[in-house]
Amino acid sequence: MPAYDLIVIGSGPGGYVCAIRAAQLGLKVAVVEKDTTFGGTCLNVGCIPSKALLHASELFEEAGHMFQRMGIGVGEPKLDLPAMMKFKDEGVDGNVKGVAFLFKKNKVEAFTGIGRIAAPGHVEVVSADGRRQTLDTKAIVVATGSDVARLPGIDIDEKRIVSSTGALTLDEVPQRLLVVGAGVIGLELGSVWRRLGAEVIVVEFLDRILPGIDAEVGRQFQRILQKQGVTFRLSSKVTAVDAAGKRLKATVEPAPGGAAETIEADVVLVAIGRVPYTQGLGLEAVGVATDNRGRIVVDPHFATNVAGIYAIGDVIAGPMLAHKAEDEGIAVAEILAGQAGHVNYDAIPNVVYTFPEVATVGKSEDELKAAGIAYNAGKFPFTANGRAKVNLTTDGFVKILADARTDRVLGVHIVGADAGNMIAEAAVAMEFGAAAEDIARTSHAHPTLTEAVKEAALAVGKRSIHM
Ligand SMILES: Cc1cc2nc3c(=O)[nH]c(=O)nc-3n(C[C@H](O)[C@H](O)[C@H](O)COP(=O)(O)OP(=O)(O)OC[C@H]3O[C@@H](n4cnc5c(N)ncnc54)[C@H](O)[C@@H]3O)c2cc1C
């Protein structure tokens, strides 16, 4: 008899949630983690530290620009960057310790070391001191996540040429920060450093920011960020960074080709995306198939082509999001315990935690048009929402897209303060197959920003009240 029912490799949001859910269902579970702390990218160098800095820098900016308008006199706010970093680190520490506590509580055994699949049913753990041990198990779930995507010829030193990891630990505010990539991570971390005093220039290969997001949302969001002082160089690419001098010299070229120019910067943040991480796992030796982007191929039950080996989270296809990884972790644990685990990929929200926030769930207008689905759009701006007016947060709008025939909600897109919390209502509605009419007839507390969601639902039927 193998010692374990399940060994999870990787303790990020996919892995740790999977382990806990499997243990709840009575499985004997072990987790193998190569880092010294649990929680993966998300808790250590992703969601949690970035949100700590976004929150602190947002308050810093508010204290400097908004307090006086509301009659609060606190003088010019002063930045104590080491203290802000300590606040962030304490937040991370509390969260990663929380995972260790949950492992103990649920009797999940944790092993520190690099996990390698020696064969189906056998995981070898190599500790930092070189010690090796092999654990036997009925099933293996690979949850090894992702790593920073690199630009050829540009060496990340995490000091001046940084990935998101280095951008979370800068020890001074750069005079000028050049961000390569206008995706979620580039815009979030660019926002942090702009608020703290950096000039921020974002270079993006495509002709739009936030590729994949509803085009109207992207356009309006870009205008808002520009108003805040972020400069965009779209349809452009960074082809080299010269780090020889005191300041970095980035070579920027038009994407379709043409004359290059040099932009000087103190820090360059490479934020062009993330790639699945499978190093050291021994996938090839056991014959686990990967696709042309290095992602582990799984069936709808998260099973790979090798019996007894499953994969979830950033290491498989789909949006690289912590809650997507968690949902998959729960689903695969339930499947392994003989239940019917399932993830509804049509209702996974996506949030950009800038100010204002951008939050979307479901289909964009472009996707509906491309699929030939007839829809009605209802839109409501925060300028017409009473609470947004008194909060001085009138930037943005809510847009609801509903099937023209059935009125079923197909997509919800929000740009606005607190959009990340508001999108939960839309995700629940979509999970329940709600119509726009259902949202429109649901009582929303007054005065709240969520009334804009109700008004957008009313607008689908061309009957919003406050417009
Ligand atoms: C700066 C930044 C901000 C982000 N913000 C958000 C956000 O706000 N919201 C959101 O939803 N997502 C966010 N993400 C994405 C999110 O972090 C990932 O989608 C999520 O962490 C994926 O979870 P995972 O469990 O698949 O993998 P990871 O979290 O990457 O965890 C994988 C774990 O596996 C371990 N591992 C790898 N190989 C081995 C091995 N062979 N043996 C043992 N252990 C191994 C790694 O050390 C790691 O701990 C952010 C990412 C970054 C970089």
Ligand 1 touching residue 302 (CB < 6 A): no
Locate the ligand 1 atom nearest the alpha carbon of residue 47 and give its number: 5
- Which one-letter amino acid corresponds to residue 165? T
As a whole number of angstroms, the distance between CA 32 and CA 107 comes to: 14
Beta bridge partners of 140: 7, 309
CB 152 within 8 A of CB 343: no
Distance 373 CA to ligand 1 centre (A): 35
Of these residues, 65, 301, 342, 446, which one is catalytic?
Answer: 446
C-alpha of residue 184 to centroid of ligand 1, in Å: 15
DSSP line for 43-102: HHHSHHHHHHHHHHHHHHHHHHHTTGGGT----S----HHHHHHHHHHHHHHHHHHHHHH
Helices (H), 144-277: 164-167, 184-195, 215-227
Residue to mutate, 116, 123, 144, 288, ligand 1, most ligand atoms under 8 Å from C-beta: 144
For 251, other C-beta atoms within 10 Å of its C-beta total 15
The answer for residues whose C-beta is within 8 angstroms of residue 292's C-beta and 6 or more apart is none
Based on the number of CB atoms within 10 Å of its own CB, is 370 exposed (0-12), middle (13-18) or buried (19 or more)? exposed
Ligand 1 pocket member 14 (CB < 6 A) = yes
The residues, ordered by sequence, that sit 6+ positions from 359 with a Cβ below 8 Å of its Cβ are 349, 350, 351, 352, 413, 414, 419, 420, 422, 423
Distance, CA of 217 to CA of 400 (rounded, Å): 12
Q: Write down the pLDDT at residue 222.
A: 98
Strand (E) or helix (H) holding 30 = strand 29-33
Joined tokens for residue 406: 């059935």
Residue 323 Cβ contacting ligand 1 at under 6 Å: yes
Q: How far is the CA of 145 from the centre of ligand 1 (A)?
A: 5
Which residue has a Cα nearest atom 38 of ligand 1?
144
Tell me, in angstroms, the distance from the centre of ligand 1 to residue 315's CA: 9
Q: In ligand 1, which atom is closest to the CA atom of 168?
A: 1
How distant, in Å, are the alpha carbons of 154, 207, 208, 234 from that of 254?
18, 11, 14, 8
Place of tokens 């003989």: 338
d(CA 161, CA 81) in angstroms, rounded, equals 19
pLDDT digits 0-9 by tens, 402-413: 999 999 999 999
37 CA to centre of ligand 1 in angstroms: 12
CB 430 within 8 A of CB 424: no
Query: What confidence score (pLDDT) does residue 1 get?
Result: 87
Please tell me if the CB atom of residue 125 comes closer than 6 angstroms to any atom of ligand 1.
no
| Exposure b/e, 274-303, CB count within 10 A at least 16 = b | bbbbbeebebeebebebeeeebbebeeebb
pLDDT, residue 250, reads 98
- Per-residue pLDDT 10s for the chain (467 aa) are 899 999 999 999 999 999 999 999 999 999 999 999 999 999 999 999 999 999 999 999 999 999 999 999 999 999 999 999 999 999 999 999 999 999 999 999 999 999 999 999 999 999 999 999 999 999 999 999 999 999 999 999 999 999 999 999 999 999 999 999 999 999 999 999 999 999 999 999 999 999 999 999 999 999 999 999 999 999 999 999 999 999 999 999 999 999 999 999 999 999 999 999 999 999 999 999 999 999 999 999 999 999 999 999 999 999 999 999 999 999 999 999 999 999 999 999 999 999 999 999 999 999 999 999 999 999 999 999 999 999 999 999 999 999 999 999 999 999 999 999 999 999 999 999 999 999 999 999 999 999 999 999 999 999 999 99
Q: Which residue has the tokens 């949006």?
A: 319
Residue 191 beta carbon below 6 angstroms from any ligand 1 atom: no
User: How far apart, in Å, are the Cα atoms of 335 and each of 171, 240, 328?
Assistant: 46, 47, 10
In angstroms, what is the span from residue 9 Cα to ligand 1's centroid? 12
> Which pLDDT does position 309 carry in this prediction?
98
Which of 21, 31, 44, 47 for a ligand 1 pocket mutation test, highest count of atoms within 8 Å of Cβ? 47
With beta carbons less than 8 A apart as the criterion, state whether 214 and 364 touch: yes
* Ligand 1 pocket residue status of 190, Cβ below 6 Å: no
Q: Is the CB of 186 under 6 A from ligand 1?
A: no
What's CA 192's distance to the chain center, in Å? Answer: 16
**The ligand 1 atom nearest the CA atom of 148:** 53
Q: Which atom of ligand 1 is nearest to the CA of 114?
A: 42
Which residues touch 75 (CB under 8 Å, ≥6 apart)?
none
Task: Report the C-alpha gap between 363 and 369 in whole angstroms.
Answer: 10
Count of CB atoms within 10 A of residue 25's CB? 16
314 ligand 1 Cβ < 6 A: yes
The token pair that represents 352 in the structure block: 């950009």
Active site residue 446: yes
Q: Which of 15, 281, 276, 14 is nearest to 122 (CA)?
A: 281
pLDDT in tens, 349-406: 999 999 999 999 999 999 999 999 999 999 999 999 999 999 999 999 999 999 999 9
